[in-house]
Amino acid sequence: MDYTTQMDAAKKGIITKEMEVVAEKERMDIEVLRSRIAEGKIVIPANKKHNSLSPEGIGEGLKTKINVNLGISRDCPNVDAELEKVKSAIDMDVEAIMDLSSFGKTEEFRRRLVEMSSAIVGTVPVYDAVGFYDKELKDITSKEFLDVARKHGEDGVDFITVHAGMNRRTAEVFKKNNRVTNIVSRGGSLLYAWMELNNKENPFYEYYDELLDICEEYDMTISLGDALRPGSIEDGTDGPQIEELIVLGELAKRAWERNVQVMIEGPGHIAIEEIEANVLLEKKLCCGAPFYVLGPIVTDIAPGYDHITSAIGGAIAASSGADFLCYVTPAEHLRLPDLDDMKEGIIASKIAAHVGDLAKGLPGAKEWDLEMSKARRKLDWEKMFSLAIDEEKARRYRKESTPEHEDSCTMCGKMCSVRNMNRIMDGKDINILRNDD
């Protein structure tokens, strides 16, 4: 092999098989794709050991992708049950699955996930460290944190989230700001606690070069986590968040010097009018690196409905230039999502991503909507079902409430505007009350 990573190949003018797959999926000129990978504006997370992967690109000019968070925990440690969710997520054509496992048979779950997943697989090594070493957080060493990252690389993980922007300087900025919700990032809070308990620098920041060695070896993309993302509307776009973003931009450049691919993670809870500015800030401060947003959730008052609040934010973020949406389920803030929660979260995120793609004018986006509109005009129910983002639900709703006349639904019956306009435009009579056809 004449290259170490996708970025290294791109810089050398080499077209990889992964680039060929992505270019075909995206209808993008392969030289444009290659050049943007070389610049860091597109990533193809593809660990050399992930043999079941169907490669996807994330970044400028590509379809907005979505990520699904899964994984076992102390309260829900059943590996097989969680893998059933994985199968469903893959069947629903998600582009990425993040394993957020934090307890129990994490290695077994991760390896089985990578083995079966055609989707990109991501992890957060700091979550795994406590269970892996069976140690309290304070007692884990810097080297041990890095060794977990290496273990994930060996297991075939395509990208890892590391909260390397939470350094001592960023932490001081946080301390000086009276935040309503402090630090809501799980990884960020763990690393902040570790730093405070040990009076040391964040190991992923202090030993960032060693981390880059690991990522380069396996071609594992780094997703630079936003440890100080806002957890409430009140904390949105504040000093700590922006301070960390500046550091993430610096770390992205250091990764690119080593040919390691990078994504930047973005805000969680944020006011709707601030979303576009946040995307612009990330693209500017991080030199066009792909932006991976966690929602964003646009109001704090809707537990049980945060798949909706995040879909609103995700649509605006995607239309403003965000590249990758982390799904949010109705269970957000409340519990581990069950299978139905996961499905609702996936559909909501898919809708948001498509809305963004329409705004971006990406190939095929508008055509999909146009085909649906044509099918509706013709009252071609089978075509409508086949085009629906959730075909199963569309079919079920139709079946559960069958109309008297096939060319209508139970909402309007023979007053259906589409039916009646078709008849009038064809020179026919409208028979709302009569029983003839």
pLDDT digits (tens, 9 = 90+) for 59-117: 999 999 999 999 998 898 999 999 999 999 999 999 999 999 988 899 999 999 999 99
Q: Are residues 385 and 261 in the same domain?
A: no
Domain boundary among 360, 392, 418: 360
- What's the average model confidence in pLDDT over 155-173? 97
The answer to whether 205 is a known ligand-binding residue is: no
Q: Are residues 125 and 159 in the same domain?
A: yes
292 is in an annotated binding site: yes
Decide which of 55 and 402 is more confident. Answer: 55
- 429, two tokens: 């009579």
List Cα–Cα distances, 361 to 33, 62, 63, 325, 375, in angstroms: 17, 10, 10, 18, 22
284 in a structural domain: yes
Lookup result for tokens 């499905």: 343
Residue 205 covered by a domain: yes
Inside any domain, residue 194 = yes
Maximum alpha-carbon separation in the chain: 84
Which of 115-129, 213-227, 329-343, 399-413 is the least confident region? 399-413
**How many other CB atoms sit within 10 Å of the CB of residue 395?**
16
Q: How far, in Å, CA of 282 to CA of 218, rounded?
A: 27
Q: Is 208 annotated as a binding residue?
A: no
In a domain, 74, yes or no: yes
On whether both 310 and 393 belong to a single domain, the answer is no
Asked if residues 218 and 154 have their Cβ atoms less than 8 Å apart, the reply is yes
50 is in an annotated binding site: no
160 and 74, same domain (yes or no): yes
Tell me what pLDDT residue 172 has: 97
Query: Does residue 39 belong to any structural domain of this protein?
Result: no
Residue 424: Cβ-neighbour burial (10 angstroms; 0-12, 13-18, 19+): exposed
Residues 281 and 251 in one domain: yes
Is 215 within any annotated ligand binding site? no
386 and 319 in a common domain: no
Q: Which residue among 331, 360, 389 closes a domain?
A: 360
pLDDT at 437: 65
Is the residue at 40 inside a domain? no
Per-residue pLDDT of 293-345, as tens digits, reads 999 999 999 999 999 999 999 999 999 999 999 999 999 999 999 999 999 99
User: Does the annotation place 426 within a ligand binding site?
Assistant: no
Is 224 labeled as ligand-binding?
Answer: no
Per-residue pLDDT averaged across 392-418, rounded? 89
Query: Does 63 fall in a domain?
Result: yes
pLDDT at 432 over 90: no
Give the pLDDT score at 433. 82
Q: Examine the domain organization and report whether 199 and 302 are in the same domain.
A: yes
Residue 435 DSSP symbol: S
pTM of the model: 0.95
* Residue 95 marked as a ligand binder: no
Domain that holds residue 389: 364-400
Identify whether residues 77 and 200 lie together within a single domain. Answer: yes
pLDDT of residue 1: 66
Question: 351 with 426, same domain?
Answer: no
Same domain assignment for residues 223 and 356: yes
Average pLDDT on 395-400 reads 94
307 is in an annotated binding site: no
How confident is the model at residue 131, as a pLDDT?
A: 83
What's the start-to-end Cα distance of the chain, in Å?
69
For the chain, the helix, strand and coil percentages under 3-state DSSP, each to the nearest 5: 50, 10, 40
Q: What mean pLDDT is reported for the chain? A: 96
Q: Is 185 annotated as a binding residue?
A: yes
On whether both 123 and 266 belong to a single domain, the answer is: yes
**Percentage of residues in the chain having pLDDT higher than 70:** 99
Cβ 318 vs Cβ 355: under 8 Å: yes
Could you tell me if 27 and 57 are in contact, meaning their C-beta atoms sit under 8 angstroms apart? no
pLDDT in tens, 205-215: 999 999 999 99
For the chain, the domain total comes to 3
**Residue 9 within any structural domain of the chain:** no
Using one digit for the tens of pLDDT, what is the confidence trace for 409-421?
889 888 889 988 9
- The verdict on whether residue 127 carries a ligand-binding annotation is yes
Residue 76 annotated in ligand binding:
no
Shared-domain flag, residues 350 and 420: no
Query: What's the CATH code of the domain at 114?
Result: 3.20.20.540
